[in-house]
Structure 1
Amino acid sequence: MLKNLLALLPLIVLTFHRGTLDAAPPTAAISTSTSTATETNASSDIPTIEPNWESMAERYHVPGWFVDGKVGVWMHWGIPSAADENRPNDGSHYGRLMYSVVPDDFTGKLGMGETLTKWHTERYGHPSEFGYEKLIPLFKAEKWDPDSLAKFVKHNGARFIMPVATHHDNFDMYDSFHPWNAVKMGPKRDTLKEWKAAAKKHGLKFGVSTHLYWSPRFFANARKYQKPGTPEWSLFNMDYDQRGYASQDTWNEHWYARCWDVIEKYDPDMFNNDSPYPSAKTGNNLGLKLFSDYLNRDLQENNGEQTVVLSCKDAKADRAGFTYNLERGSSGEIQPTPWMWATDLSGGWFYRATAVNRMSIPVMIGNAIDAISKNGVVMLNIALRGDGTIPENQAAYLTAFGEVLRTNAEGIYGSRPWKVYGEGPLEIKTGRQGENKKDYSQADIRLTTKDGNLYAFVLATPTEDIVIKTLATGGVLDKTIESVSMMGSDETISWTRSEKGMTIELPKSLSDELVVGFKVTLASP
């Protein structure tokens, strides 16, 4: 414990000098307790979640606003957003790959990193002379209007937003005790503060996403160009071992303090940890300590009721204890706990004009409804330009999805999975980094339920009568169907039901709807 305290002294001094101790958590918050018991807080009688998955799984409850809201928008935006938009593919890791210097005698085929470094050298200068830090003045956010962006995403179906607070490049997009931040340089604005104000104005929940833990390794190739005593020393994490940082107390405590700073200052409704975290084995369990402290803070402030969402990508942890971020993945079945399907509309996470989204708009919308039918919540990333505007091709995805959501809102928001998710020939596999990019057909049907009724979504514009085999007599639906209506239309819908399924006669009023939704009203018990 003394070692931990000594490591925190510079931070405590810094935050005291700034006139607040918000950036550094109380000494007690850095406790490395790993008790498996769920104890009771003597001061309030509110059970305390201990920093282990057993206790978190016992106490974690996903709040209604998240599972009812269904749709959120993630925003990757920062220094790389302002680099030349015609740059080659950087895999959203410009700051890492730009230091992949090619030897003078190299004759092989250039990889992504070498290609980017060659391009960067020709466009800006050699990394030894024009390092990543020199891109920051290009990031001005001169046209950024968070109010209009929040209004736009809400109009198109979002119920919460989640900007990136810190990416792997160690640059904070908020008023941070870390000197490399968007208030002191670049935009010179507290973007998290403004995002949150815009969210509140438009009735959206506000989340934050941190990707910080990778950053000592992220800048491994940049280290040979850094000089002691320069401001850049801290940007490139020179005080931490590029390979062994996960076992360094100083790094793990620094990570905790940076994350707690965000939580204390911006009180997010959702905290997404998009990278590893300090483990119990090598990091004094500060990862689970942060997560449990975040949840306990919320419980204390809300009389024991959880109002926040904690998400991360740890596929090995008990998913009853957090909300799993299934980034770029999919689920082949209904999951027992709510989960998050996170995907990117730009084709590259951070803005690049040459990026291509290989998932079409109809497929993205079908994937979203597929996820919702399987207890998922949708998180769509938009990659803003460096000036803060949304590119037209990404706006087109949101606009199209918004039209589908407005028409079919009754069967989406507040809905829950039914006994089965639906049916269809398109195979959806469970796992990360394997999201579907294939077209849906009218035989691909997804089901949700709300208020005792069913909602059936046809994931492609039908051209003939629609047959839903799942709703056959004698099957899983053991109630009588009273009526069927098409959401967004006053047309009378003709239908029949037999042992082969429910058949809906092709509606006459179909236009170019990407998804057609039907309300199936069931008889009361």
Structure 2
Amino acid sequence: MPYDGNLTLADGKGKWWEGLDPRYLYGINLREYETVAEAANSRWSPPKAGIFSGHLAYAEWYAKWWALRMMDAVDKYNPDFIYTDGTDQQPFSGSGTGTGYKCDAMQRVIADFYNKTLARRGKVDVFSIVKFRKQTNGTVNTCESGIPENIKTDQAWIAETPVGDWFYGPNFVYSSDAMIRYLLEIVGRDGSVGVSIPLRPDGSLDEGCVKMLKEVGQWMRVNGQGIYGSSAWRVLGEGKDGKLNVLPGGFIGGSQANHTFYSTDFRFTVGKDKALYAWCMTVPKPGETLKIVSLGTNSTVEKKKVTSVELLGVKGNKLEWKQEADGLRIVYPESAFLKTAVGFRIVCE
């Protein structure tokens, strides 16, 4: 059936949108390519003809228009990062589009972004992401909806996943516990976290989503000193019998919310203050003795002497702790009313 994508600039004569080119809203007519049906099944561009093979003039116009709009956004809003999604190492490379249009629009846009930032700020304290998953994709890489197996320091990276899905839907599971533990899994691996929050069609949030975000904010106010600006430690974490108990990957929902962690499950970060932060992935029972094996005097991970241990969120409460051969033992206090996961600030000499 005909749809708005068939309209041209001439069709607007006498209409409310006269003078506006529908090309700004829609792309080329894919029905012209015989292979488009099979391409739809594979989710990629037409494999034979190429999505731009008969529209190189349009492709050149589109690339230039895209670049000018990106540069205009940088001029007006001075962004901290530019993120482009896609199915290739960069838009406009021609790869994935058969005989598609090749140009340097992306390189020009990012160079413009960095040059203007340097002129404005005196330094380039911004970054760019060009998906997907190749080390050369921009200055920062991504890990979408997954959790790397171990610490990842080959390139700065952001783990990204949505709550429920990348778009709004009913009956999503809104769990601050799941989001906080996802955060700990990622920062312990030396990553940063980007979480997509589902907006209703009118731009509002579900009540459960609002509650979740407030609870995450409350947790971060208590524990943020070991999260913001942190880096990975020597090891990612530890678990019972030396086995790491890891949160399931994927979109944040029921499987993450219902995953069980134990008081033997820890993740580690090094804060901006150079202190070690040990994160118990659950809340221990009052009076329970915890053991961090990686901090034992006979540990192969860390040989330094522990000089102080502090429980984040509990002030004026001296912890009972002792560093022994097989681990650092900490007695969880009776009066700590903390939620989800607890952090210990540990100083060594």
Q: What TM-score, normalized to structure 2?
A: 0.75
Aligned pairs (5 A) from 1:363-374: 363-374=178-189
Which residue does 2:134 correspond to in 1? Answer: 316
Which residue does 1:138 correspond to in 2? Answer: none
Which residue does 1:506 correspond to in 2? Answer: 332
User: What do the CA deviations read for 1:137-170 (whole angstroms, capped 9, x no partner)?
Assistant: xxxxxxxxxxxxxxxxxxxxxxxxxxxxxxxxxx
Secondary structure, counterpart of 1:420 in structure 2 = coil
User: What do the CA deviations read for 1:54-80 (whole angstroms, capped 9, x no partner)?
Assistant: xxxxxxxxxxxxxxxxxxxxxxxxxxx
Q: Distance in 2 between matches of 1:245 and 1:494?
A: 68
1:382 aligns with 2:197: yes
Q: Distance in 2 between matches of 1:412 and 1:460?
A: 17
- Given that 1:366 and 1:440 are in contact with CA atoms closer than 8 Å, whether structure 2 keeps it comes out as no
- Given that 1:417 and 1:449 are in contact with CA atoms closer than 8 Å, whether structure 2 keeps it comes out as yes
1:350 aligns with 2:161: no
Structure 1 position 314, deviation (Å): 2.2
Structure number with greater CO (CA < 8 Å, separation at least 6) is: 1
Against the structure 1 CA distance between its residues 233 and 443, is the aligned structure 2 distance closer, same or farther, given a 3 Å change threshold?
same
Identity %: 25
RMSD of equivalent CA atoms: 2.9
Which residue does 1:233 correspond to in 2? Answer: 22
Structure 1 position 332, deviation (Å): 2.2
User: What do the CA deviations read for 1:19-50 (whole angstroms, capped 9, x no partner)?
Assistant: xxxxxxxxxxxxxxxxxxxxxxxxxxxxxxxx
1:488 aligns with 2:313: yes
Which residue does 1:410 correspond to in 2? Answer: 225
Structure 1 position 434, deviation (Å): 7.5
- Given that 1:330 and 1:434 are in contact with CA atoms closer than 8 Å, whether structure 2 keeps it comes out as no
Aligned length: 296
Aligned pairs (5 A) from 1:60-459: 226-228=6-8, 229-230=11-12, 233-234=22-23, 236-239=25-28, 243=46, 244-245=51-52, 248-276=59-87, 277-279=91-93, 282-303=101-122, 305-318=123-136, 321-336=138-153, 337-345=155-163, 347-352=164-169, 354-357=170-173, 360-424=175-239, 425-427=244-246, 437=256, 438-450=259-271, 451-459=273-281
Against the structure 1 CA distance between its residues 288 and 460, is the aligned structure 2 distance closer, same or farther, given a 3 Å change threshold?
same
Q: Distance in 1 between matches of 2:124 and 2:213?
A: 30
Which residue does 1:474 correspond to in 2? Answer: 298
Q: What TM-score, normalized to structure 1?
A: 0.51
Against the structure 1 CA distance between its residues 512 and 522, is the aligned structure 2 distance closer, same or farther, given a 3 Å change threshold?
closer
Against the structure 1 CA distance between its residues 493 and 521, is the aligned structure 2 distance closer, same or farther, given a 3 Å change threshold?
same
User: What do the CA deviations read for 1:316-337 (whole angstroms, capped 9, x no partner)?
Assistant: 2336x51113232222222213
Secondary structure, counterpart of 2:236 in structure 1 = strand
Secondary structure, counterpart of 1:301 in structure 2 = helix
Which residue does 1:149 correspond to in 2? Answer: none
Structure 1 position 263, deviation (Å): 1.8
2:342 maps to which of 493, 504, 516: 516
Structure 1 position 409, deviation (Å): 2.1
Secondary structure, counterpart of 2:82 in structure 1 = strand
Structure 1 position 477, deviation (Å): 1.5
Structure 1 position 238, deviation (Å): 4.3
Q: Distance in 2 between matches of 1:409 and 1:421?
A: 18
Structure 1 residue runs of 5 or longer lacking an equivalent are 1-127, 129-221
Which residue does 1:32 correspond to in 2? Answer: none
Q: Distance in 2 between matches of 1:255 and 1:240?
A: 19
Against the structure 1 CA distance between its residues 412 and 317, is the aligned structure 2 distance closer, same or farther, given a 3 Å change threshold?
closer
- Given that 1:460 and 1:516 are in contact with CA atoms closer than 8 Å, whether structure 2 keeps it comes out as yes
Structure 1 position 224, deviation (Å): 8.1
Against the structure 1 CA distance between its residues 428 and 516, is the aligned structure 2 distance closer, same or farther, given a 3 Å change threshold?
closer
1:404 aligned partner, one-letter code: W
Q: Distance in 2 between matches of 1:350 and 1:489?
A: 39
Secondary structure, counterpart of 1:397 in structure 2 = helix
1:473 aligned partner, one-letter code: T
1:275 aligned partner, one-letter code: G
Structure 1 position 519, deviation (Å): 0.9
Structure 1 position 478, deviation (Å): 2.3
Structure 1 position 445, deviation (Å): 0.8
Q: Distance in 2 between matches of 1:280 and 1:498?
A: 60
- Given that 1:342 and 1:381 are in contact with CA atoms closer than 8 Å, whether structure 2 keeps it comes out as yes
Q: Distance in 2 between matches of 1:384 and 1:478?
A: 49
Aligned pairs (5 A) from 1:18-57: none
1:264 aligned partner, one-letter code: D
Against the structure 1 CA distance between its residues 308 and 441, is the aligned structure 2 distance closer, same or farther, given a 3 Å change threshold?
same
- Given that 1:279 and 1:286 are in contact with CA atoms closer than 8 Å, whether structure 2 keeps it comes out as no
